[in-house]
Structures are given as structure tokens and as C-alpha cells.
Amino acid sequence: MQQNKIPQATAKRLPLYYRFLNNLNQQGKKRVSSKELSEAVKVDSATIRRDFSYFGALGKKGYGYNVEYLLGFFRSTLDHHEVTEVALIGAGNLGTAFLKYSFLKNNNIRISKAFDADERKVGSDIDGVPIYHIDDLSEQLDGIRVAILTVPSTEAEVITENLVKEGINGILNFTPARITVPNHVRVHHIDLAVELQALVYFLKHYPLDKE
């Protein structure tokens, strides 16, 4: 669908641009240059211009970008007029933090259902999000295509199989397990322990001054 010419690296930065444009818009700013944007999001200004250029000529030479126009453009590009429903699997420590956070305001994403195996949690809700039993995926998941996975890593593989069976095609996996999926399913890993360890590694092994 659409031009899949857009590099992945660019696609990953789009939500970031979008959020900052939103901020600017709320501050009443009318125009912005790639240089200003660069300082705010810490991405080289040439990279920003290049990123934008994949979508056509969105700016004006000598002027910069019109915030409102750009925002409108991104809104439709990011499908931001419609809310994306997401399921959360595993309402534990991490899962609960997500349930309490509103992705709706800035991101038009709503965690609308949670699933867990713990009988004490099933039937309750967290900040208005109902928790269902994991065995009821089939009945309750209907239509939802994206899942956040915050279960113990030992459960990840089996649960993933079920999620895929029920039509999920996007998984944000916080589990350390590297899950296997058919190739119509997209998995993004966020491995917090790895991130932390990588940071520590960089601190110890890379020159301190100058990047």
C-alpha cells in the first residue's frame, strides 16, 4: 500500500516529528525551519529535509514549513484521524504502567482490552480498561490487530501463536524472548534490559568527549 519507498529509518522518525509539530502548533507557532526542528528533536537538519522530501515538496524555500499544513499532512499520513485499538497481553508491573498511560491524546492509540491468566485480575479493570482471561482471546479480540506483549518470557512463544491465530499482525514485544512469527506478522522488540546494558557498555568503551 502507498509508496513503500519511504526508508524505514525515516518511517521511525515520523511519529517524533509529528509530536513536535503538535507542540509547536499548540504554542501557536505558524512556521518552522528544519534547523529549529533539528534542535528540538536532535536529528540533523539535512536528514529532516530529506525525510520530508520523500512525501513531496512540503516546504517553501527561504521560508521553512507551515506548521499547520505540515501537521495536517502528517495527520493523514500517520492515519491520525482514526483511533487504533490495541490489546495488552499481561497486566503485570509493566503492563499496568502502560494501562495507566494515555496514548490517546498524542498518538491516537487506545489500549482497549487487556488479557491476563491471573484469576484475581480477570474481571477487574485498570483505568477503565477491562481485563479478560487469556483463554477468551478468541471471543474478545475481535477486530484488534495490534498487541503489546508484557507476559513472562516463558509464556511468550505460546501466546504469540494464539495471537497470530486470532488475527493479530503487529506485536510490540517487551519480553526478552525472540518470538517466531509467520512473515505477514510484524514484531518490534523493546528489550529494556538490553537497552540498559548497551548504555552501560557504551559509557565504558566509547570515548567520553566528542560523540
Ligand X SMILES: NC(=O)c1ccc[n+]([C@@H]2O[C@H](COP(=O)([O-])OP(=O)(O)OC[C@H]3O[C@@H](n4cnc5c(N)ncnc54)[C@H](O)[C@@H]3O)[C@@H](O)[C@H]2O)c1
If one asks whether residue 94 binds ligand X (CB under 6 A), the answer comes out as yes
Subset of residues 102 to 121 that bind ligand X, contact rule: CB under 6 A? 115-118
Strand partners, 94: none
Number of H helices, E strands in the chain: 9, 9
Kindly state the helix (H) or strand (E) to which residue 9 belongs, with its residue range. Answer: helix 8-26
d(CA 195, CA 38): 24
Could you tell which of a copy of itself, ligand X, DNA, none binds residue 52, using a CB distance below 5 to 8 A set by kind?
A: DNA
> Which whole-number Å values give the CA distances from 10 to 13, 20, 108, 147, 172, in the listed order?
5, 15, 20, 23, 19
Could you tell which of ligand X, a copy of itself, DNA, none binds residue 57, using a CB distance below 5 to 8 A set by kind?
A: DNA
Among 106, 118, 139, 152, binds a copy of itself (CB under 8 A): 106
Pairing assessment for the beta strands 65-66 and 31-32 based on DSSP bridges: antiparallel
Lookup result for grid cell 501557536: 28
CB of 23 to DNA, least distance (A): 17
> Of the two residues 11 and 109, which places its CB atom closer to DNA in the complex?
11
Stretch that binds a copy of itself, among 26-34, 59-67, 131-139, 143-151 (CB under 8 A): 143-151
If one asks whether residue 159 binds ligand X (CB under 6 A), the answer comes out as yes
- Chain residues in the site for ligand X (CB under 6 A): 89-95, 97-98, 101, 115-118, 134, 150-153, 155, 159, 174-176, 192-193
